[in-house]
Amino acid sequence: MELDLDALNAEFGNQPEKLVQWAIGLGKPAICTTNFRPFEAVILHMVSQVKPDIPVVWMDSGYNTDATYRFADEVARKLNLNLITYLPKRSRAHREAIDGPVPALDDPRHAAFTEEVKLEPFARALRETAPSVWFTALRATDTAVRAQMDPISINPDGLIKVAPLLHWSSKDLYQYLVAHDLPNEFDYFDPTKGEDNRECGLHLSH
């Protein structure tokens, strides 16, 4: 399918809900990824309102906070999500018994840690769900890399990547949560990133 990305981004780039409707309207297999970070209920609600049975893919590293796990269960129940959880091939207990705690960001072993707990599970998710459209809650304010992205892009493998909330501010997200009576949770930490403005590698690889 040939897509005029410039025209589509100009039309839908600042209209998240219309962008979701357009992307679902392509009629192609789609997934929505989530990490249940703050404001994540926005993308999950927005997408599931248009396609209630969309597979929602979560790469659970095993290192989330207790609050994040409770939040994940709450949102999944409230929105009746078709949640598919992908876990690393080793449990956290197994990995730490052999390799120790999470390596520091400047430790050469950190790349292998990220590969094991996030990138390999996501590659497995892509193989098993075989989507043509990928919804993500990326925001331009997250990192310098994401600031250069467009709401609609096409990956080298042909996957159509859709980031409806790319240009939304925290205020926009908060107002959406309030308007739709959605929960939120700020006790979140991603050990593969370590710092809020650092990429974990997933969106560099895909």
- Amino acid symbol at 7: A
How far apart CA 134 and CA 199 sit, in angstroms, is: 18
Number of domains in the chain: 1
pTM for this structure? 0.91
For 87-117, give the DSSP string.
--SS-HHHHHHHH-SPPPTTSTTHHHHHIII
Q: How many CB atoms are closer than 10 A to CB 10?
A: 11
Place of tokens 């192609």: 28
What's the CATH code of the domain at 90? Answer: 3.40.50.620
- Given this model, what pLDDT does residue 141 score? 81
CA dihedral 53, 29, 202, 135 (to 10 degrees): -60
The answer to whether 135 touches 43, Cβ cutoff 8 Å, is: yes
Phi, psi of 182 (to 5 degrees): -105, 145
Contact 140, 168 (CB under 8 A): no
Q: Which domain holds residue 148?
A: 5-203
Could you list the pLDDT tens digit for every one of the 206 residues in the chain?
689 999 999 999 899 999 999 999 999 999 999 999 999 999 999 999 999 999 999 999 999 999 999 999 999 999 999 999 999 999 999 999 999 999 998 999 999 999 999 999 999 999 999 999 999 999 988 766 766 789 999 998 899 999 999 999 999 999 999 999 999 999 999 999 866 555 455 555 55
Cβ neighbors of 88 (< 8 A, separation 6 or more) are 61, 62, 95, 116, 117, 120, 121
Burial of 86 (0-12, 13-18, 19+ CB in 10 A): buried
Q: What is the dihedral of CA 100, 104, 105, 107, to 10 degrees?
A: -70
CA pair distance 205, 108, nearest whole angstrom: 19
